[in-house]
Structure 1
Amino acid sequence: MSIDPSSIPNFGGQPEQQPEGPTGPVLPDQDLVKQLLDQMELKYVVDEEGDLAAPWEQFRTYFMFRGEDEQAVFSVRTFYDRPHQIEEKTRLLESVDDWNRRTLWPKVYTHTHDDGTVRLIGEAQMLIGTGVDINHFVSSVVSWVRAAIEFDKWLAEQLGLEQQIDDAEDSGGDVE
């Protein structure tokens, strides 16, 4: 199964034409996601557990298949690497709740590590066990990737991290 390259939306808009692919439901797999990421010109790796991951500077997005038969699920999960202090968690939760109310995906939640740092995880899922329309699958994955990128920008703006990031880049330092 392959994807028509002209059907892949760029990050600035919608596809110019509809793909001409399979007419019935397809069972997506990792090879299909790799083709899609190639066509989106995104770099990716396969981790030790066999999951596909696309790394960005501030986060990593994983494309995972879990379950079997009718219960099979495709999940796009983004791990945001920016650490937040436990004292910031209330403000962070307020921002995340606002995002989750306003958007469909990714749904974002916090994870507090043993050292007291808080990190964010975004997730979107699709049941794929009985097959899905290829157009729906492609547009969903593209939208989920775009939304993962947008969330990181949005959060930096909400928390006032843009200036911190700009100042660190100007001074050649790291942002914590």
Structure 2
Amino acid sequence: MAAWLDRARGLAPRGQGATRPTGGRSARPPEPLTAQRVGDELTRRGYRFRIDSDGDITGTWDGNRFWFLLLGDHKEILQVRGRWAGEVAATTRLAVLQAVNDWNRERIWPKVYIREEEDGLALYAEVSVDFEHGATDAQVAATVSCGLVTATQFFDSLATLAPPAAG
């Protein structure tokens, strides 16, 4: 096997460029993703959350509802999904759709979209990461942070474009 591949995999003998993390949360190898690990990360941050009737982790950040879902055949995908607390008025639908399109074209995270629901239009943001081979605590923490921060940024930017619906 090529020496550079051995070094990348951490298999090269010491003195040949092999480095291994020491201490901290990233020192442990990736472990299977679980709801417990996601909950532990939220607790570590001091966040309040609950388990809903579907068994999903959910909570409210800046007034917006978020879910931390484990998806995939083996629950290997962590998805942080947020639903904007505001309403998308029919009169602002086209402007909001344009903002959604602009955001998705110009940024990687989060994926944002509008969905028709029983009570009108709802705005969602999602960050999904596949941890098929496990995740370190640092990776779980980064995904949680990315999902919450980027979705909240998008929701804040929409608040000025889509004032509350009359009703």
* Cα deviations by residue, 1:78-130 (Å, 9 ceiling, x for unpaired): 11131112332111100111111222211100011245x21101111111222
Q: What is the SS of the residue equivalent to 1:28?
A: coil
CA RMSD of aligned residues (A): 2.5
Q: Provide the TM-score with structure 2 as the length reference.
A: 0.75
Q: Distance in 1 between matches of 2:25 and 2:77?
A: 25
Q: Answer yes or no: is the 8 Å Cα contact 2:88–2:122 preserved in 1.
A: yes
Report the equivalent of 1:129: 132
Structure scoring higher RCO (CA < 8 A, sep ≥ 6) equals: 2
**What SS class does the counterpart of residue 87 from structure 2 fall into?**
strand
1:29 to 4, 17, 34: 34
Indicate the larger mover: 88-97 or 20-29.
Answer: 20-29
Structure label with greater radius of gyration:
2
| 2:144 paired with 1:141 | yes
Match of 2:121 in 1: 118
**For structure 1, which runs of at least 5 residues remain unmatched after alignment?**
1-17, 165-173
1:31-50 aligned within 5 A: 31-50=36-55
Tell me, yes or no, if the aligned pair for 1:68 and 1:129 is still in contact at 8 Å: no
**Alignment length (residue pairs):** 145
TM-score by length of 1: 0.72
Q: Judge conservation of contact 2:67–2:81 (CA < 8 Å) in 1.
A: yes
CA spacing shift, 1:152–1:68, aligned 2, 3 Å: same
Question: Counterparts in 2 of 1:59-74, with a 5 A limit?
Answer: 59-69=64-74, 72-74=76-78
Identity of aligned pairs, percent?
23
For the structure 1 residues 91 and 160, does the alpha-carbon distance in structure 2 shift closer, same or farther, using more than 3 Å as the test?
A: closer
Query: What residue in structure 2 maps to residue 88 of structure 1?
Result: 92
